[in-house]
Amino acid sequence: MAIMTDRENGVISLQTRRTTYQMKVDQFGVLLHTYYGGRIGSDDMSYQICTLDRGMSGNPYEAGKTRRDYSLDVLPQEYSCWGTGDYRPSALKVRNADGSRAVELRVVDYRVEEGKYTLPGLPAVYAEEREAQSLFVRLADRYTGVEVELQYGVLPELDVITRAAKITNRGGCAVVLEKAASLCIDWQFERYDWITFHGRHCMERIPTRQALRHGVQSVGSTRGGSSHNYNPFTILCEPSATETAGACCGFSFLYSGDFLMEAEVDQVDQTRLVCGIHPDSFAWTLEPGESFQTPEVLFTYTDGGLGQLSRTLHRVIREHVCRGEWAHKRRPVLINNWEATYFDFTGDKLVQIAREAASLGVELFVMDDGWFGKRDDDNSGLGDWFPNEKKLGCTLRELGERINAAGMKFGIWVEPEAVSEDSDLYRAHPDWVVQIPGRRPCLARNQLILDFSRREVQEYIIERVSAILSSAPISYVKWDFNRSISDNFTHSLDPRHQGEFSHRYVLGLYRVLETLTQTFPHVLFEGCSAGGGRFDAGMLYYTPQIWCSDNTDAINRLDIQYGTSFGYPISTVGAHVSAVPNHQTGCSAPLSARGCAAMAGTFGFELDVTKLTSAEKEEIRGQIATFREHYDLIQNGDYYRLAAPGEGCAVWEFAARDGGEALVQAVFTRVEGNPVPFHVHLQGLRAEGRYRVGVTDPDPVQGSKISKLWFPRECVVSGAALERGGLTLPLPRREYQVWQVRLTLCGEDGQ
């Protein structure tokens, strides 16, 4: 069994193949957290708790005058509360009817069910009944009737656990939730580094690693989305942890709105992590009998290092978060016209690009911004979701059919959550925007946000997008969100409930996406928020891939995609080959480097192929052929980070789960005179297997023929040698040199 309960001693153990997560109901009904780490069985780990009279740390009344050594301020807890003696970051803060903010939870009962619980209206890890078990622990405050059901899902074969909480008001008066986190976890003795992923527009998810210190450290967002600035994914790991060894815990919040992850090392060197909706933009009123459901956190532990942690997260997101027809179906190589034309295009120009791209092997043409309403720049027309047939020179259906006739599937860009002031929609429904009455709003790109917390706005967007998707042969939608939310206010709620706006907005967004993706299951939806501003596991539940960044510079993308890979699989990373000089940085990386970087994602193009030379077109044909040949390996294989971009050469590896083949890709980010050889240790191979190793330089020196090199020594090498002895890359011959190394398992005769 994945979940074992010892009711006599109050011990509850969640077991996976390699890990144990344990809690205990103590003599006062407090739910203690006693262990999370490598698998230990069902031993009661509460023996590790050291009680001592800590000055200025009070004692619950029921502990009596003789138990000064019992304090919630230092005990490791499963779901901490504010206002009753625990002064560390709390999971729950409630404003009661009398104005007090105290809540005191004690365990009432618990139960185990087969299968994985679901969260109506929210994204959640899913599993077959045989693949998971769920635990529900009910706690209650005897004074106010506030009740919390802690929800745990266990996927034992994947070493994954999930957590959420359902909070119900069983009392007779309304209460206000001022903080309602999804996860609280304490470690008594571990000393951890904290890895977070910061950034900005066009430079997202850059990893930062630092030792956790005394005091509260946090990352989060109050921008209405998970943001470019901080990602709702974090890692705690022991200081000695590397890619291949060391204890690591990864936590991914399945939520696309305001969030907060906070950690503290307390007065006795214990570590606490709390994760949930950001309380700064949250206040939820619960009338008697009403409930509030928090979003879900998925997490995993390994002592196999950061690489193993990532591969576990990759697998659970690919197989148990991404849903629908496109979760596992081979996705088409696409071309987007944005950087080729921006707003300046006609239907004929788009068809011209599509025809040329089709001749190179591209399979999907995506028409970006500017095809609807009065939309020749980003100052007007947003929200008027009616095709501009004068600009296109035809109907949307006719354009789609012309694209199809060229041998391409047809896709479109939309940004349904925003509206221009200069638009018919805004003029008709000014009360539909997020804006505080009597105040002039904050603008971004001269646009406002539609109030997705309102049912009528949701219904309008569902109707408009559905009409568009039904009107033409559309097989792909890029769903964009190009500004942060401010001026939080909704006309649909009274002043007492305005604190509910931010979360209701996210729930409305999820409802719209759920309706559209279920109504149009054959359409591939890609998420986007000015690039990677809403790259989170919550969005991946609805859109199985997300545009990784608006920065298409291949060398910058190596850093962005490196950071992204810690928590998210390659199959979710939207990545394109763009023109040079790059439109964001002015950098002129060779086509080989641009193609290599884009292959570490969903792979596509964002340039005007009609302006390419014949040699460049031939090289693109070769890139597409290479990507197709290795598609399953790249998208579904195990991913290994062999060297970070900052080391002078970014190197990564895709390996089949059975070790039958592998593909190593390398891009030199720095070239020096009299260079030092660059050496990496491969992973994921069969130690006893023998591999034929072929090194390819995909950047032709002359003409369009791809030159090939073989190892100057033995070309058949054992997996053990490649893993333990390693592989020395050929020296770079030019700036941003690319090498691709293919490894194929030989037969018993070495052939």
Q: Which amino acid is at 439?
A: R
Q: Tokens for 414, please give them.
A: 């939309």
Supply the DSSP symbol for 145: -
Chain Cα centroid distance, residue 88: 28
Helix (H, G, I), strand (E, B) or coil at 604: strand
**Catalytically active residues, by annotation:** 536, 616
The β-bridge partners of 5 are 12
State in Å, rounded, how far the first CA of the chain is from the last one: 45
State how beta strands 160-169 and 146-155 pair: antiparallel
Nearest to 290 by CA among 152, 145, 182: 145
Calculate ∠ Cα 592-599-569, nearest 5°: 150
CA distance 699 to 502: 49
- Look up residue 239 and give its two tokens: 């200081």
The whole-angstrom separation of Cα 137 and Cα 676 is 58
Is the bond preceding 581 in cis, omega lying within 30 degrees of 0? yes
Nearest to 557 by CA among 604, 608, 627: 604
Residue partners of 300: CB distance under 8 A and separation at least 6: 19, 158, 159, 160, 161, 249, 250, 309, 312, 313, 316
> What is the helix (H) or strand (E) element at residue 365, kind and residue range?
strand 364-367
CA pair distance 535, 558, nearest whole angstrom:
17
Residue with tokens 């890029």: 478
The secondary element (H helix, E strand) that includes residue 502 is helix 501-519
Encode burial over 511-535: b for 16+ CB neighbours within 10 A, e otherwise.
bbbbbbbeebeebbbbbbbbbbbbb
How far apart are the C-alpha atoms of 31 and 20, rounded to whole Å?
17
Q: Compute the distance between CA of residue 229 and CA of residue 221 in angstroms, rounded to an integer.
A: 8
HSE-up of 209 (CA within 13 Å, CB side)? Answer: 14
- 41 CB neighbour count, 10 Å cutoff: 9
Q: What share of the chain is helix, strand, coil (3-state, %, to 5)?
A: 25, 30, 45
Backbone angles phi, psi at 342, to 5 degrees: 50, -130
Distance CA 678, CA 669 (A): 12
| Helices (H) then strands (E): counts for the chain | 14, 40
Strands 364-367 and 409-414: parallel
Residue with tokens 């059975």: 658
Round to whole Å and give the CA distance between 424 and 460. Answer: 14
Residues 6+ apart with CB under 8 A from 252: 232, 233, 297, 298, 299, 313, 317, 536, 537, 567
CA 109/CA 93 separation, integer angstroms:
22
